[in-house]
């Protein structure tokens, strides 16, 4: 894992298309601004995990339904 230090209004780039900017820092919370192309999904990790679990459940259900 790459660990970087940034201050408010500073950014990092991921590849040529994704820019992450530190918008605000308050106590132990950091607000990020993310500029990315529309074809790149950007989610908080807990939302991403929920989406992946839903996909797995759907695939398992579809596979089970196809075997009946």
What confidence tens digit (pLDDT) does each residue in 2-61 have? 999 999 999 999 999 999 999 999 999 999 999 999 999 999 999 999 999 999 998 887
The values of phi and psi at residue 57, to 5°, are -60, -40
**What is the torsional sign of CA 42, 45, 50, 54?**
positive
Q: How far is it, in rounded angstroms, from Cα 11 to Cα 7?
A: 8
pTM of the predicted structure, to 2 decimals: 0.76
Which segments of 1-68 does DSSP mark as H helices, in order? Answer: 45-66
Strand partners, 32: 22
pLDDT at residue 67, as a whole number: 63
């Amino acid at each position: 894992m790459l660990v970087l230090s940034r201050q408010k209004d500073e950014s990092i780039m991921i590849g040529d298309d994704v820019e992450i900017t530190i918008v605000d820092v308050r106590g132990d919370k950091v607000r990020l601004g993310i500029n990315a192309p529309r074809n790149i999904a950007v989610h908080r990790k807990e939302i991403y995990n929920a989406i992946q679990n839903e996909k797995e459940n759907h695939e398992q259900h579809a596979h089970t339904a196809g075997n009946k």
